[in-house]
Structure 1
Amino acid sequence: MMRSPSDTPRVLAIAEAANPDWVSVPLVGWSLAHALRARAEVHLVTQSRNREAILKAGYVEGQDVTFIDSEAFARPLWKLGEWLRMGQGKGWTMVQALNAIAYPHFERLVWQQFGERIAAGEWDIVHRITPLSPTIASPIAARIAKTGTPFLLGPLNGGVPWPDEFDSERRAEREYLSYVRNAYKALPGRKATLKHASAVLCGSRHTASEMPESCAHKVVYLPENGIDPARFNATVKPRSGLLRAAFVGRLVPYKGADMLLAAAEPLIERGAIQIDIIGDGPMRHALEEQAGGSECVTFHGWLEHREVQNVLRDAHILAFPSIREFGGGVVLEAMALGVPAMVVDYAGPGELVTPETGIKVPLSSRAGIIKGFRTELRRLAEDPSQLAPMAMAAQARVQQDFTWARKAEQVAQVYDAILTGRALPSVF
């Protein structure tokens, strides 16, 4: 029987990583799955490591959520990955490669517990939310397809190529596997997963471009990140006088905090800027030396996710020269507070920022990015108030398109199209 658009879909949401107390992928997994509860009858399936945080959030085990314990297989691989990465915060491609080995075991356990119920028609859709990486296949996609239940994949995001001008940073990050990353496209698991998906949500234009032509009709572009207004709702303080810029992120080569300091050096020397650096990592000591003990630069170290906004809301602008950012969640968080972003026009941040809501510096060499940021910072330092219209536009853009409630509405449109046999919508 063809479904009516007024029916509430029953969704089995598979999100191996879903945790309201963490950041990055686990927070995306949790936030989208949780927001979808306002649009569908959702039962969340996630890894057992997330149990404490999710139960604390009010979910009832067995009723709202099921926890899958795959640690016996996943933990040894995680430990191997930590050893192979040869340094905390480095070698993320290696992590994804090992996740691609570990994740199928998680899905096998999911199928053991839910396969018969899926076949019996207990859910209208099975939606794999995380992993986000397009390199990780879903071996249960074919099994689900045989039951007649639609399978939705995504948002998928990742694999943004390293800019040629930053090969030294690539090596400093120990991203050696990234040189052969595209080999994943030949894996049979990927082809089967895409073949049996009813739709594929792609979190970036780049990821959408990597989809084979045979499944182009299934692709829906939907940026992966969103904002929880309950987390980022601070009132921006009045900002006048000295230009204040903030940087938020791990202090690693590709994030570009060193390029920000180099770009701002003339302003720092004149005492014409205040820079707040939120985050920590292996480059912190070198960055502190680069800042030379200037009172114009404050290193806050790691802050709890909910505390970040207390520093961000004092800034005129988020200065974020990252050269390989898949999603750019921090950009949205700043925009939600009414803080425009200055970013490199590449990958996630380049897609999130528009000329009305922020400033985009062209991707080029290290020297070119420093020059671009220096020019823009100098211009803003002369009159920070010129950012006010951008601040209002940035906040409005987030409220219109990037709250998790809005994301859930956009995904629900895809659900409706799948279940009613209509063409997939352009939701963004």
Structure 2
Amino acid sequence: MKVLLSAYSCEPGKGSERGVGWSMAREVARHHEVWVLTRPDESKDAIEAELAANPVPNLHFVYFTLPFWKDSLRWGQSGAMQLHYYLWQIQAYFVGRKLHREIGFDVVHHVTFVRYSSPSFLSLLPIPFIWGPVGGGESAPLSFWADFSWKNKLYESLRWAWRSIGELDPFTRLTAQRSAIIYATTKDTAQRLEKLGATNVQCLSESGMTQAEIEQLSQCPLPTGFPIRFINIARLLHWKGLYLGLKAFAEANLPDAEYWILGEGPELGRLQALSLDLGIADRVKFWGLLPREEVLVKLGQCTALVHPSLHDSGGWVPLEAMASGRPIICLDLGGPSELVTPEIGIKVPAHSPEQAVSDLAKAMIKLAEDKKMCLQMGQAGQQKVKEYYSWQAKGDLFAQVYKDITTENGQELTHEFS
């Protein structure tokens, strides 16, 4: 089949959005012939170098950017970047339409950005359109806003407003309504897409891992012995909920236990002060931002991952913890909640900060007291990653979806990742 893939962000050897774009393109090209629309300024050199070293015959890249605004990276992830993204999507339609006339695609698939509140004008092409996985429909529960500073409350308000504006865009609604199938990263996003008029929405995480990464993480020693160590790997932002983890660790009051925090961000000072106020500063270690190799070493030295994020769309860190055989403690919110089952970890309801802290503390105590449970959860997580969350498995899934979606009568798709 001939597949047109839209990947505004795409680069080999990277994580997050860039990694999603590259990995999806490479894996789908194992099954079908793929043309990828992307930008030259972000990653053309890296893509061409990778293809020269490891050719993928079925993979073709079409680079373009706005003629009047060629450097889309200059403004980072600011509002200007979002405007560039929107205008680039319009341009992508005309580039894609021209290519379709020349090549005759069977299906078009929007991959990045992983965002439901901005349209993909490629949905206007006269061929089946697949959207996603897309996310962004998650919100921090209002009961948790009381703990936020005024700047953080402003951030959450602006995020909500920006998303609402996107939902009012008639082209966003048209994208939802013209999609043959949409993959949403979470149930929250799925519900918002259905309100936009989408008729076929299924949940699927955008996160994935290469076989090499899975093998590397599987070498981490099993989480046994003392001391009990909990690890939190995240940008130090208010909505990552690290303060909830610290409070829960203090409430659990486990003897000789440690709490490690890896990452950097604006909440560092507040978190350090909180650990002092809670009387746990001597058992909390802030490691800062470490190279990936060192992060994996630290992960292998810990018993369990604590990931109390309030509105993650994806679940990159929990996925790495699963691959390393670590049980996970998270809130029953967003992407992590979609990944973590009772066999893999402990999901805590998020009704209020006080309740969440109490339940997180109970989960810490439970894992600290039951080494067998830790091992069983870790092994279940490793198995699930191998079966469902390798990029190869995702490539297999979408390769089949493309075939199903172009069959006669548009029969209903039943491929779910669960």
**TM-score (normalised: structure 1):** 0.85
Partner residue of 2:210?
228
Structure 2: runs of 5+ lacking an equivalent: none
Deviations 1:266-324 (A, max 9, x none): 566x6521222111101112323333484532222112335422221222110111111
1:358-417 deviation digits (Å, cap 9, x = unpaired): 011111211211111112212333343431111111111111111111111221222111
After the TM superposition, which of the residue ranges 253-262 and 216-225 deviates more from structure 2?
A: 216-225
The alpha-carbon deviation at position 213 of structure 1 amounts to: 6.2
Query: Size of the alignment, in residue pairs?
Result: 401
- 1:305 corresponding residue in structure 2: 292
CA distance in 1, matches of 2:365, 2:203: 36
Q: Is 2:139 the counterpart of 1:139?
A: no
Match of 1:176, as an amino acid?
Answer: S
Q: Mean Cα displacement is larger for which, 332-341 or 25-34?
A: 25-34
Distance 1:189 1:112, change over 3 A: closer
Instruction: Give the deviation of 1:192 after TM superposition.
Output: 2.1
Task: Please state if 1:53 is matched with 2:53.
Answer: no
Residue of 228, 238, 252 corresponding to 2:237? 252
Partner of 2:413: 424
Match among 73, 77, 90 for residue 69 of structure 2: 73
Q: Tell me whether 160-169 or 177-186 shows the greater mean CA deviation.
A: 177-186
C-alpha contact (below 8 Å) 1:172/1:253 kept by paired residues: no
CA contact (8 A) 2:140 2:239 kept: no
* C-alpha contact 1:267 1:273 (8 A) present in aligned 2: no
The aligned counterpart of 2:191 is 209
**Quick one: structure 1 residues 117 and 69, their matched pair in 2 at CA, closer, same or farther if it must change by over 3 Å?**
closer
Counterpart residue identity of residue 371, structure 1: S
Q: Given that residues 231 and 306 in structure 1 are in contact (C-alpha distance below 8 angstroms), is that contact kept between their aligned partners in structure 2?
A: no
The one-letter code sitting in structure 1 at the alignment partner of 2:158 is: L
- Amino acid in the other structure paired with 1:367: E
Between the aligned partners of 2:367 and 2:194, the Cα distance in structure 1 is 43
Contact 2:397 2:415 survives alignment (8 Å): no
1:261 maps to amino acid: L
User: 8 Å contact 2:137–2:192 — kept in the other structure?
Assistant: no
- C-alpha separation in 2, matches of 1:133 and 1:263: 32
1:226–1:61 CA distance, 2 compared to 1 (3 A): closer
Equivalent pair of 1:23/1:305 in contact (CA under 8 Å)? no
The answer for the alignment partner of 1:408 in structure 2 is 395
1:361 maps to: 348
8 Å Cα contact 2:139-2:310 kept in structure 1: no
Deviation at 1:46, TM superposition (A): 1.2
Instruction: Provide the aligned C-alpha RMSD in A.
Output: 2.7
Please say if 1:289 is aligned against 2:273: yes
Tell me what 2:91 maps to. 109
Gapped runs of 5+ residues in structure 1?
Answer: 1-8, 83-94
| Secondary structure at 1:326 match in 2 | coil
Contact 1:340 1:394 in 2 (8 A): yes
**Alpha-carbon offset, residue 81 of structure 1:** 6.4
Q: For residues 370 and 36 of structure 1, do their structure 2 counterparts lie closer, same or farther at Cα, with a shift above 3 Å needed?
A: same
Partner Cα distance (1:395, 1:30) in 2? 24
Equivalent residue for 2:315, pick from 328, 352, 358: 328
Answer with 189-198 or 12-21: which moved more.
189-198
Shift of 1:185: 2.3
User: Which of 8, 13, 16 in structure 2 is aligned with 1:24?
Assistant: 16
| Partner-residue secondary structure (3-state), 2:15 | coil
In structure 2, relative to structure 1, the CA distance for the partners of 1:52 and 1:80 (3 Å cut) is: closer
Identify the residue that residue 175 of structure 1 maps to in structure 2: 156
2:5 aligned to which of 5, 8, 13: 13
Q: What is the deviation of 1:344?
A: 0.4
How far 1:129 sits from its partner (Å)?
0.6
The code of the aligned residue for 2:257 comes to: I
Correspondences of 1:61-100 after superposition (within 5 Å): 64-70=60-66, 72-73=68-69, 79=75, 82=78, 95=79, 100=82
Structure 1 residue 227: Cα displacement: 1.9
Partner of 2:142: 164
Q: Is the 8 A contact 2:75 2:81 kept in 1?
A: no
The offset of 1:166, in angstroms, is: 1.8
Q: Are positions 1:190 and 2:163 aligned together? A: no
